[in-house]
Structure 1
């Protein structure tokens, strides 16, 4: 008859389940893999596959009792680390959604929105366009593989049971404000050009009060805004490379993997 001791069960829990919680938390929060259109079973199977590959190469895990309070605390620690690493990528993708929303509001296209299948919310049309393009470029540059590499390194730099450095993450939290700043910088050229167009229409209205600015200005602003947005896409790859490197570097700093 097969008998298992508490030490054996604790060793199995520590060697496989604890890393699984960190990997699964990252996949649940990370864009693309954590999107609503990805079934939970697919994410779970992917987390199991990644954990099976990582488990033999991970540092020794602490011996714990599977039903003790310490095991619950360690599980919560792994969940927090995985969520924080995935949250950085969420912020990175939100930059382009914010950019599209700012440009849409400036050109009068803010009313045009569509359902985002990844998050289940309504987003501006230009924001969804930039999000889809960013997703394709992110996968083309193997950004998801870099994220998994950082995740694997985090088990060495942030070992299971090593505790969370509160001061370190409090310092890193101040760097997360770059999302709104990056979104404004991306939208600044288009917003400036559209501001000049609106000022020109204001001068025309002042010079010719009988001119129906709503019948003429809105369609022209919409057409010119689309042209300006199309011209602004010429530099989107350069901005994407800079922001993606910054996001990955921030993720490495959160994981203390340098």
Structure 2
């Protein structure tokens, strides 16, 4: 296979390698810290080598525009992967809403995949989301998205950044993320709100009862109980969230491809 490489097309292979590597810098599942960097680079190299022999490769010369093409490929991979990661971040936002109502807001944990602090319930739901993505071969669909990005964004074309459509698309994607996070948090947050109302009524009718001592464990018990009951509902939302992430990736690449 290596004997068939046309070394005049090595600049084109470098463009492919830059885009694939940039995807894996921000793409969910592949970009996490517990995946060794040398494995990411090696996987990106061999995947780019496969794409080199699969996608139609135009003749690309090293000229004044080649450096701009390198930056364009890096920007495409990072932007699309980051947008997918932001959509998946709705899980963390929903967990933050739930933790605030349950009293876990001050008990954040370190996410081993990103190294940042994350809410307890948010981390729990996020791990379930990752397991769901791996169970339905979602990582294969992400790799397919990387492959088909060359049909939507040709390797030798520049991005139409003068069009403001991509800005509105990102804003709309943020709106979808918060709507999904709100839908995921509303069952538990709503039940805990009713618990707060009940505790307020008890505090007014039975002043001798210290609701601050009783309220926190009661809210934790109610919150965890509703979380167990609503897991089927959450799995459906996680599926919709994953479909939204793939649709958002494809729509954003279509806009960048003009």
TM-score by length of 1: 0.91
Q: Is structure 2 residue 217 aligned with structure 1 residue 240?
A: no
Displacement of 1:9 after TM fit? 5.7
Displacement of 1:185 after TM fit? 1.3
Partner Cα distance (2:212, 2:181) in 1: 29
Counterpart of 2:83 in 1: which secondary structure?
Answer: helix
Q: Is structure 2 residue 114 aligned with structure 1 residue 116?
A: no
Q: Cα deviation per residue 1:152-182 (whole Å; 9 max; x = unaligned)?
A: 1111221012111222422322222211221
Q: Is structure 2 residue 223 aligned with structure 1 residue 225?
A: yes
**Aligned counterpart, 2:14:** 17
Q: Cα deviation per residue 1:72-105 (whole Å; 9 max; x = unaligned)?
A: 1101000111112211321232111111111011
**Aligned counterpart, 2:204:** 206
Q: Is structure 2 residue 56 aligned with structure 1 residue 40?
A: no
Contact 1:59 1:156 in 2 (8 A): no
Deviation >4 Å, runs of 4+: none
2:87 is aligned, of 92, 96, 112, to 92
Count of paired positions? 248
2:140 is aligned, of 129, 145, 166, to 145
TM-score by length of 2: 0.91
Counterpart of 1:38 in 2: which secondary structure?
Answer: coil
**Aligned counterpart, 2:100:** 105
* Structure 1, gaps ≥5 residues long: 1-7
Contact 2:95 2:185 in 1 (8 A): yes
Displacement of 1:23 after TM fit? 0.3
RMSD: 1.8
Partner Cα distance (2:96, 2:31) in 1: 22
Displacement of 1:247 after TM fit? 1.3
